[in-house]
Amino acid sequence: MKIGIIGGTGGMGKGFAIRWCINHDILVGSRDAERASKSAEEYTNTAKEAYGKINGSISGNDNVSIAKESDVLVLAIPYENIDSTCSQILPQIKDSCVVISPIVPMTKTELGFEFIPIKENKPFSYQLVVKYMKDKSKLVSAFHVISEKKLVNPTLTLDYDIFVCGDDQNSVNVVNGLINEIKGLRPIYLGPGALSYFAEVATPLLLNAMIKNKLKNPGIKII
C-alpha cells in the first residue's frame, strides 16, 4: 500500500514514515520536492538502523505528486494551512484514497493551550477538510493524541489509545489496521466524522495536563 504524508518533513510525518515503512511504501510530501527527497533518505537510514530490514520503501516528492499516487493520504499539516493545502491536493487524489486528518485546531495563550473552535468560534478541522473531499465518506479523523517524540524514535514503545472518527466502515477499517501496525497503539472508534471534535479537543486537554502536572510524553489509555 502507498501511504502519502502531506507535511511529511515534520515530526509527525517522520514518525509515521519510520513506523509504517516496515510493510508499506511511504511517500513523503512537501512543497519542496528536494527537501522531501532528502527527508526520505534520512528516514530510510533511521528505519534500517532500527529494524535491520524494511519490506517497504520511503521516497519524497512534492505534495501534489504524492497525493495523486497515494492509497492512503495523511494530512500532517497545521490547522491554518487546511484551506490552502487541501484545495490544491484533495481534488487530485484517487477516488479510492482514504484521507486521515490528525489536525488539531489549537492555539497557545497565557492560559495554556486552547481549542480554536471554542475560543474563536471557528470550524473544527474535520469540517474544513471535508469541504474539499471528492468522496466525503473517505475522510477519517485519527492520531490526535500521540507523543511525537516517541513516534519518531522506533526504539521506543508506545502505549496509547487512538480515537477514530469516520463515516465509512471500510475506510475506518483501513485506518484501524494502520494503527494496529504500530506496536502499543489501539484504535478506539468514537463515531461518525461529525463527532471528530471530541478527538481533536483531546490534544489541548492532554498538553495542558502535561505542562501543569510536569508529565512526560503523556497519552490516553482507556481501561
Sheet with 72-75, edge to edge strand ranges: 57-62, 25-30, 2-6, 72-75, 98-101, 139-141, 160-166, 185-191
Domain coordinates of the chain in residue numbers? 2-213
What tens digit of pLDDT does each residue of 172-193 get? 999 999 999 999 999 999 999 9
Total-model pTM: 0.95
What would the pLDDT profile of 73-95 be if each residue is shown by its tens digit?
999 999 999 999 999 999 999 99
Q: At which residue does the C-alpha cell 494551512 appear?
A: 81
CATH class for the region spanning 2-213: alpha beta
Nearby residues of 88 by Cβ (< 8 Å), 6 or more positions away: 63, 64
Distance CA 13, CA 26 (A): 10
